[in-house]
Amino acid sequence: MNTKRRARARTGLVAIAASSALALGACGGGHAGGQQGGAAQGGGNAGAGGSNACAAASQVLNKTQTYAGKQVTTTGTVGQVVGPHAFTVTTGGNTSGGTAQTVLAVEKETVSLTPGSSVEVTGKFEPTFSTDQAQAFTGGTLDQATLTAYDGKPYIQAVFAGPASANLSRSQGGILGIGSNGCGSANEVLNDTQSYTGQQVTIAGAVGQVVGPHAFTVTASGNAQGAKPQTVLAVAKETTSLTVGSPVQVTGILQPAFTTNQAQAFTGGTLDQAALTAYDGKPYIQGVFAGPVSANLSGGQGAG
């Protein structure tokens, strides 16, 4: 994946962040232990919509009017690779007997994906696919004959695609939903860093502090069990333009102990060492994507 392209895209996306965080939770109940064996931390993060923090694939795909034009995050397996700019994501059913569904995603940059591999896609949910519209978005030639089957169906204009985050997909399960056990909260990640160290995670919250053009903090809200908000540092390769207090979603590798040298090697840019001293030795995220909070991810500033 071209991380520079994603970083450029996220800068423009931050401006629409406030309209993206909707209170549309569909995944109630406690979190199941993750693929890494993380401990359950209770219900989803509380926000404007209560204690539910994520919406299942069926809710998004069955309510196209509600989610049309919003940023959504999808986890699942690669179904079909339809050329270098398009692929499908097959999302799992849920514990209530829901069936697997497939959604098409188109990407600006060429992608190298293998059918059956895990994938996480973040992008704008469009209610009706047309080759002309999708081709204008990608800027590349699409296989019109192969894509005819998707005409008129919902699809995602992707701004990020990569391995499924450890705290979002327990077993390739859906658009942030595997029944009631699909979405690991920020508290779960930050309270069990040993389980998530070295894994890709997705955290949503509000921008706490902007520490120069390559670093910022994310403050995640507490949850329904009364957990207090927690803050995590994120560093990004490309410069970012963020506003304190604005909603933000970050996807990247959770590192167990921050050091300026390690973070600076990752970003390739100069970091404010004095300002970042307070984070020495603490977990942080090497961000490969940052942008507005997906509509089906956060029920208020909360989930991770």
pLDDT tens, residue by residue, 89-105? 987 654 444 567 889 99
Coil, strand or helix at 73: strand
Comparing C-alpha atoms, which of 135, 168, 161 is closest to residue 38?
168
Does the pLDDT at position 155 exceed 70?
Answer: yes
User: Which range (14-23, 148-157, 229-238, 256-265) has the least confidence?
Assistant: 14-23
pTM: 0.76
Give the pairing of strands 200-210 and 101-107.
unpaired
pLDDT per position as a tens digit, 161-208: 988 888 876 433 343 333 334 466 677 788 888 889 999 998 888 999
- Average pLDDT, integer, range 281-298: 88
User: Token pair for residue 26?
Assistant: 């569909």
pLDDT per position as a tens digit, 224-282: 455 677 899 999 988 888 899 999 999 999 999 999 999 999 999 889 999 999 999 99
Report yes or no: 216 and 250 within 8 Å, Cβ to Cβ.
no
Rounded to 5, what percent of the chain is helix, strand, coil? Answer: 20, 30, 50
- Average pLDDT, integer, range 47-70: 67
> How would you class 141 by CB atoms within 10 Å of its CB: exposed for 0-12, middle for 13-18, buried for 19 or more?
exposed
pLDDT at 215: 95
